[in-house]
Structure 1
């Protein structure tokens, strides 16, 4: 007789690619962007994380659905609906944006450890990156996915931070539900950066690829070939994605709210890094808030690094027809793991380059916002194709919400370029 699991453990077990994808969205670069938005504009931009919740949920659900129905990742399907040059161009931009994010995240993790423990930030950064890379390369997916799942709990640190500071909940509720924007150049670019770091292209590729990994691990056929478990599997994807994206945006909301209620109120409106945000919190909110914020950066980075590097490797590998998958051994997928190692290596080089990592980080979020538009359109075309999806094309409501998300992202990008152009 099997032992019944406690309700919380059983609930956690039901979650998978959606939870990990959502949690990875709150990486140190995202923390920096949300902190910058909160410090600079107070609670005025809280509506952005409310607005993006249904939009990112729709897009991520569609990406997961594509992987489970077709048995192939997003890049492999995208290559069938876009010209080769366009598909390769998107993947190249994805790799560039991901590499910049990896470098910024590694630096942020090292800086956060230094703040808490003292010592050399670069040494901590290299050690954490090396450990993450070795774990990703030499641990099979069925074990590694449990490590990633438990790392999501580190983000609850930001829930704790909120309850250590004084919050004007009335103002927060008003600004979250009623959009406020002063239409300045800086405000518009910040909105695009928030959208770009929240609805991020690397998450599209990752969740789709993880559905394929889970399917392969279970020895199951794609739903297009074996539709019998379709209802159960599509319900699971919906539940997993709703919970994962809800968790992601809840944490983003708390980060923005915390910095708005502390740093902005104290007149600290320029925040360049997540570590700087943690350091600035210390004299305002106390040591406990500082410690929680700092530890959250490290946990978020350890969760996000494999997702950033892995999504680029999945995208390029699927497009090129390589053997891909974290369940495969190194010798069976050398090119796939080579891309992962290259992404980590280039990210580490950023620690010693003259590039301003903060500007690179912020503009990588903007770049994500730009490349997301054609990628979202291609994803929706695949999801609507009976040839690719068989009887499991995305429901009309989900597709409409996906096109709304694409339109919102496209509008934000156009506004960004308008405000970039000198009058």
Structure 2
């Protein structure tokens, strides 16, 4: 079998035909998210596993609403907010999103650099710069239809966390019981971890990314918005989005569940209860679970980081471009969407500069979480209003169950944000 036939088989694989839901879901488990899930497992053992089954339908509902808004209207989330809400609301939300994303990228690339140093022995600053240049080159120089092909294959990196569970002893009976009936005291420490889990699982940058990617997919397939489509196409597209989003978020949440479980049955059991960085989580696994588990965990961090950083930078670029009416597409060349690509470049390079500043990656991650907590609630309210307005969605407004889950998720995030500030 020659290389050409192998490449043809790869391009024909079903994985290359899935929609934005899978990429969005995997990007949610970025290196900073892995730190949060690892800390939950290390600190509370099996008793934080319940958060993932709760988060799954709520996260899926919000992401599906964002996907529907993008595909039905043919415009991104910021563009729809711009036409419905006061300019001050839009500017405030997008400005805070941009700051939070840069800080989040800083934490992510620092984690990737540190883990790469553990694996290769090369200085983490050098590895961080390498990952920054790699992600920028992919986004700016490679057309979207080719770039997203590689992103979809990178989603397989999350399987590393399921594979880790085959290298360690897992008491499955206790796992099931603890998932359904957790035992812990609801104190400030537990509240902080729960807030962190829901905050990193339901994240504003994912809202903008998925809506914009539906628009990219629509244009890439030479389609029009659903307000202008025939009934057969409308039904097919709504069904496709539903399947794509729910399955993508399931994959993401199962992976997060596996991370919590892997660290619970290794680090927590060994009395290691405090994890502050992704590299610390990976290196702590080595003497407990062996070199193979350590390598799998490390490669998973690098794989999802290569997905998470472009999504963070891209979501900010889409949002800001829609605010000012700039051309915005990863399919466009840099000469045709110069300001869009400039936002991507400045976001990632700004995050790289933070590595050489007095701001620690963990401090950047903390402030990113705070800002995301501020942005998430009003943004989710805006999404729910948009999805239920006939003037925006025409006859394709969201159903009652989807809206109920969305409002419940919003109330939960509001409660989490209050707890965060009280803490």
Query: TM tier, shorter chain?
Result: over 0.9
Moved more, 360-369 or 157-166: 360-369
- Distance in 1 between residues matched to 2:14 and 2:328, nearest whole Å: 30
Moved more, 172-181 or 279-288: 172-181
Cα pair distance change 1:180/1:217, threshold 3 Å: same
Aligned pairs (5 A) from 1:148-163: 148-163=151-166
Cα pair distance change 1:11/1:178, threshold 3 Å: farther
- Out of 160, 172, 175, which is 1:172 matched to? 175
Structure 1 residue 413: Cα displacement: 1.6
Q: Say whether 1:306 aligns with 2:329.
A: no
- Distance in 2 between residues matched to 1:233 and 1:10, nearest whole Å: 20
Aligned residues between the structures: 415
Give 2:336's aligned residue. 332
Give 1:258's aligned residue. 262
Q: Contact between 1:137 and 1:326, CA under 8 Å: does it hold in 2?
A: yes
- Distance in 2 between residues matched to 1:88 and 1:181, nearest whole Å: 41
Q: Contact between 1:16 and 1:149, CA under 8 Å: does it hold in 2?
A: no
Give 2:278's aligned residue. 274
- Distance in 1 between residues matched to 2:373 and 2:166, nearest whole Å: 32
- Distance in 2 between residues matched to 1:260 and 1:83, nearest whole Å: 46
- Distance in 1 between residues matched to 2:139 and 2:16, nearest whole Å: 21
Q: Say whether 1:112 aligns with 2:138.
A: no
Q: Contact between 1:196 and 1:365, CA under 8 Å: does it hold in 2?
A: yes
Give 2:228's aligned residue. 225
- Out of 404, 408, 419, which is 2:412 matched to? 408
- Distance in 1 between residues matched to 2:144 and 2:289, nearest whole Å: 40
- Distance in 2 between residues matched to 1:8 and 1:255, nearest whole Å: 30
Give 1:87's aligned residue. 90
Q: Contact between 1:14 and 1:240, CA under 8 Å: does it hold in 2?
A: no
- Out of 390, 398, 402, which is 1:398 matched to? 402
Structure 1 residue 12: Cα displacement: 2.1
Aligned pairs (5 A) from 1:5-404: 11-228=14-231, 229-404=233-408
Cα pair distance change 1:191/1:9, threshold 3 Å: farther
> 5+ residue gaps in structure 2?
1-7
- Distance in 1 between residues matched to 2:10 and 2:278, nearest whole Å: 35
Q: Contact between 1:223 and 1:230, CA under 8 Å: does it hold in 2?
A: yes
Structure 1 residue 383: Cα displacement: 0.3
**C-alpha distance after superposition, 1:147-187 (max 9, x if no partner):** 10011111111111111111222222223223544222122
Q: Contact between 1:192 and 1:366, CA under 8 Å: does it hold in 2?
A: no
Structure 1 residue 66: Cα displacement: 0.5
Structure 1 residue 96: Cα displacement: 1.1
Structure 1 residue 81: Cα displacement: 2.7
SS at match of 2:134: helix
> If the length of structure 1 is used for normalisation, what is the TM-score?
0.95
Q: Contact between 1:81 and 1:378, CA under 8 Å: does it hold in 2?
A: no
Q: Contact between 1:195 and 1:369, CA under 8 Å: does it hold in 2?
A: no
Cα pair distance change 1:370/1:190, threshold 3 Å: farther
- Distance in 2 between residues matched to 1:13 and 1:140, nearest whole Å: 15
What RMSD over aligned residues (CA atoms) do the two structures have, in Å?
1.7
- Distance in 2 between residues matched to 1:168 and 1:417, nearest whole Å: 37
> 5+ residue gaps in structure 1?
none
- Distance in 2 between residues matched to 1:257 and 1:303, nearest whole Å: 23
